Structure 1
């Protein structure tokens, strides 16, 4: 049963990712004054499929709240370590010859 729940969640996640791409395509088409009806129908079909999958997920015993795409992305960015600049190397005068001295061993 747990595998079925995980498979449904995986399918929901895949559909949500595809939906964001289709939504971006629709926005691009609208911005260029093109017909976006085909992409809109595809998006509505994806939404219906997600709603159906959520029903199957709940029926299979899934109970925790599913995160939205925005929540998943912000959580994945928050989990990443922050890249910091390396501290500048401090040059020391140790081992360098001072004026009037040589490096020769005596």
Structure 2
């Protein structure tokens, strides 16, 4: 689902994460700065929001929800790069993390 499709039902804020697209970053990199960026966007959106994240953005959305509590109403996480059991090693997953185009989805409440 794209931002355009979601915009039919929600107000969508689509932004370039730090160091990506047209966005810059301040060294050293810190996840906390990215969570602060999300918190600023949530504030501009009225104080609470649903978050969508894909791949590393899914992990970031999960971290933001953990830190921001009730400001995050719901999460939709697409292909977070987690290994949740001993069925394979991290080293065997690395080449596939950004190239896996499966349809696995997880919704957390």
Higher relative contact order (CA 8 A, sep 6+): 1
Q: Which has the higher helix share?
A: 1
TM-score scaled by structure 1?
Answer: 0.28
Q: Which has the higher strand share?
A: 2
TM-score scaled by structure 2?
Answer: 0.27
